[in-house]
Amino acid sequence: MSQPSLAAQEVAVHQHELLLYFTLLQLAIIVLAGRLGGALARRGRQSPAVGEILIGILLGPSLFGWLAPEAFHYIFRSTPPEPLQILSQVGLLLLMFQIGLEFDFAHLGEPKHRRTVWRIAIASLLLPFAFGLGFGYLSAPQLSPGAPPLASALFVATALSITALPILGRIMIEFGLERSPLGVIAISAAAINDVVGWLLLALVTTLTLSGFDAADFALRVALVLGFLVACWYGLRPLARRLVRLGAQTPGELTPNRLGALLALIFLCGMCTQQLGIFAIFGGFMAGVVLHEERPLALAWQQRVSPFVNVFFLPIFFTYTGLRTQIGSLDTFAAWGWCLLVLALATVGKFAASYAAARLSGLNHPSAALLGAMMNTRALMELVVLNVGYDLGVISAQVFTMLVIMAITSTVVTTPALRHWLPRCGALARRGG
């Protein structure tokens, strides 16, 4: 076999250097823009995550591509999107590990207000899911004509059901609610929402990839269940033993331990990707099996989490922004559908949570505050939407509508907290 010519080698090197140049240009802009978005959000008395998400959307065709199309195409379209896509997926894998690692399952067994927690969790799952299922099925022929209506409906229903636990947690800490009775109720109900939501997403993904073939679906579900059992009863004790080896102090994150952790995350991601339910589930499970290692979680939060939040998260938000095309909502009918899904999502979460809280004996301001907190979606919603978009079960138009819904539902959380919190009384105070 003949060797490539010198000219061909020079062309390949030039193409690689060009790809590196544009990738570094994109990363520099994304990281700086993410910092700017977070700072502006703080000035606007919003969570920094809200600003980071909005900046990511604005860097896409919806604003930057519209205002300066030549510059937009030069920066983001001169080379293939694969480097940014891969980096966003690696970042998402690390983020999901981080979420699983920091997940406090003790909230799910909090004896005080337990009945209220379960009522709110169940109500805020069932009503949005029913609304999303109806909307997705009825709108699929018009909005996602290339997708199976049931698959599209299931993804929309799952998207409307999830509450963004990480973003809600960050907002609650900013308001000092993380250890108050209301905060415990909200974070516990949101935790249940997230657990069920991720199980739903895995189930819906498996169902979609099986082509609704009963035998294939049953096999995939059995494999996923086998993976979960293997992680909990096999990997969990082994991983906990490994992360404690070679550490002079509990939770010390030595280079060897960090390397082992990263390998564990990537291997779990590879397993779930091969099972057909996306690598992010593997990252989440890797975190869950180590969630009891609190010193390790603290060390990760101090040393690795800032890099994930500053570097990888803005890449994911920008990657989502590059797929969001507000210009695709170019008719009154499209905006009508968008307003309808926004109304259904908000009413589904807020009304269900409010009614369940009132039924449990909470006063009007406390119930309204819980409804507003449970309506927070943001990051987790964007993860679900990207999965559905990659599978082709929701169109670019529906993707854009749901991104608008996710951002809007999160933006209104902080003003709602400022409005209702002073009226809530003892339930909103630490230890109240």
> pLDDT of 115-144, one tens digit each?
888 999 999 999 999 999 999 999 999 998
For residues 348 and 135, the answer to whether their CB atoms sit within 8 Å is no
Tokens of 188: 């516990």
The mean per-residue pLDDT over the stretch 24-41 comes to 92
Using 50, 70 and 90 to split pLDDT, how confident is the model at 2?
A: low
How high is the pLDDT of residue 134? 95
Q: Is the pLDDT reported for residue 421 higher than 70?
A: yes
Cα–chain center distance at 175 = 22
Q: Is the pLDDT reported for residue 253 higher than 60?
A: yes
Q: Which of 188, 203, 189, 119 is nearest to 157 (CA)?
A: 203
- Angle between helical axes of 181-209 and 378-391 (0-180°, round to 10): 0
Q: Is the pLDDT reported for residue 1 higher than 60?
A: no
Fold of the domain spanning 84-428? Na+/H+ antiporter like fold (1.20.1530)
Q: Which of 393, 406, 425, 357 is nearest to 163 (CA)?
A: 406
Give the model confidence (pLDDT) of 288-343 as tens digits: 899 888 888 888 988 898 999 899 988 988 888 888 888 888 889 999 999 999 99
Per DSSP, the three-state class of 259 is: helix
Query: Structural domain boundaries of the chain?
Result: 6-76, 84-428
How high is the pLDDT of residue 104? 62
DSSP E strands in 303-408: the ranges are: none
Q: Which of 12-16, 235-239, 381-385, 398-402 has the lowest mean pLDDT?
A: 12-16
The mean per-residue pLDDT over the stretch 405-423 comes to 87
Distance CA 12, CA 6 (A): 10
Q: Which of 315, 377, 376, 293 is nearest to 97 (CA)?
A: 293
Q: Is the pLDDT reported for residue 173 higher than 90?
A: no
Q: Where are the alpha helices (DSSP H) in 44-113?
A: 48-58, 64-67, 69-76, 82-102
For residues 167 and 376, the answer to whether their CB atoms sit within 8 Å is yes
Q: Is the pLDDT reported for residue 9 higher than 80?
A: no
Q: How many CB atoms lie within 10 A of CB 400?
A: 24
Distance CA 133, CA 209 (A): 19
| The one-letter amino acid at 364 | H
Distance CA 205, CA 311 (A): 28
